[in-house]
Amino acid sequence: MQVGTQALGSSGASLLHTQAIPGNRFDLALAGSKFRLPSDDWTLAPTSSNSYQRFKDIQLTMSHQFSPNAFAEIAGDINRVENTRDMIEQSGLNNTLIDVNRLLPNGAANPKFLTPYGEGQYRYGLSDTNAESVRAAFAYIKDLGKWGHYSFNLMGGLTHRVAVARNDFQQLNTQTDRRLLGNDALAIRLRQYWDEPSSQPRPAETLRFVDPVTPANSRTITPIWAKALSSFNNANDNNEYYNYLLAAMNAKYLGGRLVLLAAVRQDNSKQVVEYTKLPGEYPMDWDGQTIYMRQAAPADWGSLSYVPKDAAGRPTGPATLAVSRPRTGNSQYNSGLAQYANDRFQDDYSPPDAIAKRQTPSVGTVVHATNWLSLSANYAKAFAFNTSAAPDPNSQLLPPAQGDGWDAAARFTLLGGKLELSTGYYANEEYGNYIDPTSVTNNINGLYDSNAVGDSSTDGRNIRGGTNMSGVTRDTRTRIADGYEFIVTANPSRAWRITANYALPKVWNKDYAPITRAYVATNDALFRQILTDAGGMIGSTGVAIANPAIANPAVNAVDQAKAVNAYNAIYTNITSFLPDQQLAQYQQIGNAYLDYTFQDGWLKALRIGGGVNYRGRSVIGYRGSDSIVNPSNPSASLDDPGVDGHNTVWAPAYITLTFTAGYRYRLKDHREVLFNFRINNLLNDRDVLYSGSALRPRGGDYRSPARETVPAAFAYKTPLSFSLTTTLKL
């Protein structure tokens, strides 16, 4: 939905607690249908779920002490996790629609006419994680008296972890081309009306297919479960090999008042990711279940090139980077074009392996300066793989993230141990930290999926060779963090106990999404061409608009609005992807607890207490996309010069109260039973907690072309809950 050249930002908005959207937006639906605004407690989520997780682990450890000073240990571990996630809710069930069909497909009156409903796919996310590891360790202790006490440790290990991801969905099994079995857009959907019990029925073994256009085609069919092939994210294997050697030393001097710590770790690790082949490479008689993986990337994967050719094989342009194999109809479900049979393309292969050969040191010290003051400091380096196995916008696997950091702390023990104060400061930087750029990349896919003028097909797309990137994409940033921490523990008497802590963490982004920014800059001309092909154009203010010269766009340019919105969203959202430093988070966090234990009488050993949790305001978005009304043209907008991607959108602070109680019952022979009772969110505060933002009409005025970024995505506070635990100590 648009006003002038600007989308309203209300598509997909929540039914409740929206900002900058008129309060009467549902008046027509309320007056003309059975739709009613739900309460905060209402949900369409099924009361039953088919999700489950199975976990198995076996560990064997052998330890041996050679002498009073020398120790050795060998250990092995085998771990298996099987996880099945029922995805019916997240596959569309939470979207609200209204049934406007007066008749059913068989011609009978529709009893659910004008009733709201949601639709979700019969779909399961399947993920198995298998891990095997072995390690060996050796320790040696030496006490040299006044010359110090020393501990030396040497440890090495091998770990192999494989995460297997698959998606199963139910579909009609009517396709002649069996490669289309993997198209999850064809999944059978469960329609759940608002006035029906929200218990999820089991998927049907047979279905009656009714064809209202050609009744003779109506028949009973047997649906099947098929593996989704629409994205690599639905079928991939992520193998991680961690091989490490760690040496560490602990030295104590001056009777333990000075402690020196040092360690160095050598890693020779590798990440090998295998993606499913594109559906067009699957057998024509595919069974719907067998997964065919792409080949490993060749050494020249990054420089593969091809020469564009016509259908007769004649060159039509200069050599260019071979990113995606050209296919019939530009669809991944079709075979590659015959003229490129002897060419190699990057998407024929899985991404190159990510290899990490790193040496990461760590050094630190603890100084017990007096019996009431201790000081400590530490410095370390580390690295981590991209565990999501998602590629960057250029379909390459990102290298391991790496970083370093240091911290320092002081601890004060006062009043004979009744009061302990700790304070600390830390700072770290992480280079290549993984981030999610899909607010831009998924809109690029939306633009690529736009039909050209004159193409009204439901499976068409651009005619310029723009090839979709993965729906799950990763990019990087430099993450800079520092902060202060304060902890207070007090025991004024045997009965009273007080604890409190407060943290001031601050996180900054720098060089945010450099690969995505470069992709957009490189493909700007392509984006404009696809926009023009789909019936859009660039207006006088640089914003995409519908081309008024296109007659009857609802018929002749079916994706005109889609292309215009996607194009504008690309450049709107990328305004918050900044190369310089940008505040990512500054949420102050505090907790305080107080409890009292009765020391005598019939309440002796009963403990009661309470606490307060404080969470300060948090960053949930940036205002780089804000606009104002164009003074020269009230129907158009201009970039708001007063804000940019450095200006933040904040979610408000909040507090939560907690009540606790406990009792210790002593048994014979020093045994005891502990009872602990806890009430979380004592006041049952159900306030909204905003976690994301959206671009909406400024002030909620749909007539204005100006836009502002406001809080949007939210969740409710977890309602009041209580727990009772019992512990037996023998």
Q: Tell which residue, 392, 554, 406, 584, has the closest CA to residue 478.
A: 584
Contacts of 584 (CB under 8 A, 6+ apart): 479, 507, 508, 509, 619
Please, are residues 700 and 708 in contact by the beta-carbon 8 Å criterion?
A: no
One DSSP character per residue, 567-604 reads HHHHHHHGGG--SS-EEEE---EEEEEEEEE--SSTTT
Please, are residues 18 and 26 in contact by the beta-carbon 8 Å criterion?
A: no
Tell me what pLDDT residue 21 has: 86
pLDDT tens-digit profile of 345-375?
999 999 888 888 889 999 999 999 999 999 9
Q: Tell which residue, 608, 723, 605, 602, has the closest CA to residue 664.
A: 605
Residue 668: burial class (beta carbons within 10 Å; 0-12, 13-18, 19+): exposed
Contacts of 549 (CB under 8 A, 6+ apart): none
Distance CA 509, CA 621 (A): 13
Confidence band for 456, pLDDT divided at 50, 70 and 90: confident
Please, are residues 625 and 575 in contact by the beta-carbon 8 Å criterion?
A: yes
Q: Which two tokens stand for residue 248?
A: 């560490």
Residue 663: burial class (beta carbons within 10 Å; 0-12, 13-18, 19+): middle
Confidence band for 504, pLDDT divided at 50, 70 and 90: very high
Tell me what pLDDT residue 200 has: 67
Please, are residues 607 and 595 in contact by the beta-carbon 8 Å criterion?
A: yes
Confidence band for 1, pLDDT divided at 50, 70 and 90: very low
Helix, strand, coil percentages (3-state) for the chain, rounded to 5, are: 15, 45, 40
The contacts found for 292-295 with CB under 8 angstroms, 24 or more apart, are 293/237, 293/350, 294/348, 294/349, 294/350, 295/348, 295/349, 295/350
Query: Which residue has better confidence, 730 or 393?
Result: 393
Please, are residues 71 and 139 in contact by the beta-carbon 8 Å criterion?
A: yes
Give me the percent of the chain exceeding a pLDDT of 90: 67
Tell me what pLDDT residue 8 has: 65
pLDDT tens-digit profile of 554-607?
888 999 999 999 999 999 899 989 999 999 999 999 999 999 999 998 899 999
Query: Which residue has better confidence, 519 or 175?
Result: 519
Alpha helices in 369-477 (DSSP H): 438-448
Stretch 623-648: mean pLDDT, rounded?
Answer: 90
Tell me what pLDDT residue 6 has: 55
Stretch 465-476: mean pLDDT, rounded?
Answer: 85
Confidence band for 540, pLDDT divided at 50, 70 and 90: confident
Tell me what pLDDT residue 202 has: 73
Distance CA 81, CA 79 (A): 7
Alpha helices in 495-579 (DSSP H): 514-522, 524-533, 553-556, 560-573
Rg of the chain taking only CA atoms, in angstroms = 31
4 pLDDT higher than 50: no
312 pLDDT higher than 90: yes
Give me the percent of the chain exceeding a pLDDT of 70: 98
Q: Which two tokens stand for residue 670?
A: 């020093």
Look at the pTM and tell me if it is higher than 0.85.
no
pLDDT tens-digit profile of 107-159?
899 999 999 999 988 899 999 999 999 999 999 999 999 899 999 999 999 99
* Range of lowest pLDDT (111-125, 457-471, 474-488): 457-471
Tell me what pLDDT residue 5 has: 47
Residue 263: burial class (beta carbons within 10 Å; 0-12, 13-18, 19+): middle
Distance CA 539, CA 549 (A): 13
Mean pLDDT of the chain: 91
**Rounded to 5°, angle at Cα 612 from 607 and 616:** 160
Query: Which residue has better confidence, 729 or 295?
Result: 295
Confidence band for 164, pLDDT divided at 50, 70 and 90: very high
Q: Tell which residue, 716, 718, 730, has the closest CA to residue 40.
A: 716
pLDDT tens-digit profile of 171-230?
888 888 999 999 988 888 888 999 987 776 777 788 888 777 788 888 888 999 999 998
2 pLDDT higher than 50: no
Residue 253 to residues 79, 249, 259, 364, 374, Cα–Cα distance (Å): 41, 13, 6, 14, 14
Tell me what pLDDT residue 459 has: 67
Please, are residues 160 and 239 in contact by the beta-carbon 8 Å criterion?
A: yes
Distance CA 348, CA 297 (A): 8
β-strands 496-510, 149-171 pairing: unpaired
pLDDT tens-digit profile of 28-86?
999 999 999 999 888 888 777 788 899 999 999 999 999 999 999 999 999 999 999 98
12 pLDDT higher than 90: no
Distance CA 444, CA 374 (A): 55
* Range of lowest pLDDT (310-324, 387-401, 503-517): 387-401
Residue 353 CB neighbour total at 10 angstroms: 14
Contacts of 420 (CB under 8 A, 6+ apart): 411, 412, 413, 414, 487, 488, 489, 490
| Strand partners of residue 391 | 397
One DSSP character per residue, 626-678 reads -EEEETTEEEEEEE-TT--TTSEEEEPPEEEEEEEEEEEEE-STT-EEEEEEE
Stretch 438-466: mean pLDDT, rounded?
Answer: 88
The contacts found for 461-466 with CB under 8 angstroms, 24 or more apart, are 461/330, 461/331, 462/330, 462/530, 462/533, 462/534, 463/330, 463/533, 464/526, 464/529, 464/530, 464/533, 465/324, 465/326, 465/330, 466/523, 466/526, 466/530
Distance CA 163, CA 159 (A): 13
Stretch 425-443: mean pLDDT, rounded?
Answer: 94
Distance CA 261, CA 404 (A): 17
Query: Which residue has better confidence, 621 or 460?
Result: 621
Eight-class DSSP state of 327: B
Q: Which two tokens stand for residue 109?
A: 């009156």
pLDDT tens-digit profile of 256-303?
999 999 999 999 988 899 999 999 999 999 999 999 999 999 999 988
633 pLDDT higher than 90: no
Tell me what pLDDT residue 532 has: 96
Confidence band for 3, pLDDT divided at 50, 70 and 90: very low
